[in-house]
Amino acid sequence: MTLGLGLLAAATPASAVEPPDGAAYVALGDSEAAGTGNLPYLDADCLRSARAYPELLGASLGGVASSACAGASTADVLTGQFGDLGPATRLVTLTVGVNDADWQGVLLACATGGDLACAAAVQAAAADLASLPLDIAQLLGAIRQQAPAAQILVTGYPHLFGDVTGTCTVGAFQGTRVTFSAAEAAAINQAITGVNALIAGGVSLYATSTGDPGVAYVDVAAAFDGHGLCDTGDRWISGLVSGVATFDRSFHLNAAGQQAYAGILAGALAG
């Protein structure tokens, strides 16, 4: 499959033809990049946290301009998160893709519908994500046009569960325990593996089509082994969390998980 430069250029938002100078480090993406659930928030509308991995990574890089927003899809990043990009931008981090499908619907189906409903939801999400590699490639082309000198690091997602062999309890909702079977946990992990493969495929599609050496996919799943829900190690991901102010933390990276992301990306930069 080939992707011409003209197609990549067509993805550039018309409103961003003449970018400003740009911030040195710009973070783009969804709730993982926003640090959703980890109070305090810097932006309550986007659930963007002061403890998000871009803020942690940026502390050693002179700061960060983050437009990451909970619930963002690739289209949302393309049309609404480019304001801080420009010729002076030297680093861009991007975490996006899972919300191009109804990911929350997948989790709900797996938590409440049983093994068959879970499998069907995962299959439907996979169909919704069929165009994700092309969407990622087009998004990278648009970012490159706005930030011609930047190194662009694109992350995947961690698996929510480890090697669960029995029932995994992740918390309670309205007083009722929420559990996942081994089959449901495996299906969700497999779905995340699929999303990561599609994102990596999009990065590869862009790089091979353009010859751009400044874009790389950064795997995070391996580092999270042993730190998922119902794993034996310290959790880096939150289960269901009660409370109006803290419910958004559910199924998102906790503070340790955000620190892990920052460390993985720091290692990629050092490499």
Residue 263 structure tokens = 């460390």
Q: 176-189 burial, b if ≥16 CB within 10 A, otherwise e?
A: eebbbbbebbbbbb
Q: How far is CA 19 from CA 82, 86, 125, 228, in A?
A: 9, 5, 35, 40
| Through-space distance between the first and last CA atoms of the chain, rounded to whole angstroms | 29
Q: Is 31 a catalytic residue?
A: yes
Q: Is 252 a catalytic residue?
A: yes
Instruction: Look at residues 43, 51, 49 and name the one whose alpha carbon lies nearest to residue 80.
Output: 43
Among the listed residues 31, 209, 238, 250, the single catalytic one is 31
Q: Is the peptide bond before 40 cis (omega within 30 degrees of 0)?
A: yes
Among the listed residues 227, 238, 250, 252, the single catalytic one is 252
Cβ atoms within 10 Å, residue 268: 17
Instruction: Look at residues 165, 198, 189, 31 and name the one whose alpha carbon lies nearest to residue 106.
Output: 189
Indicate which residues carry an active-site annotation.
31, 252
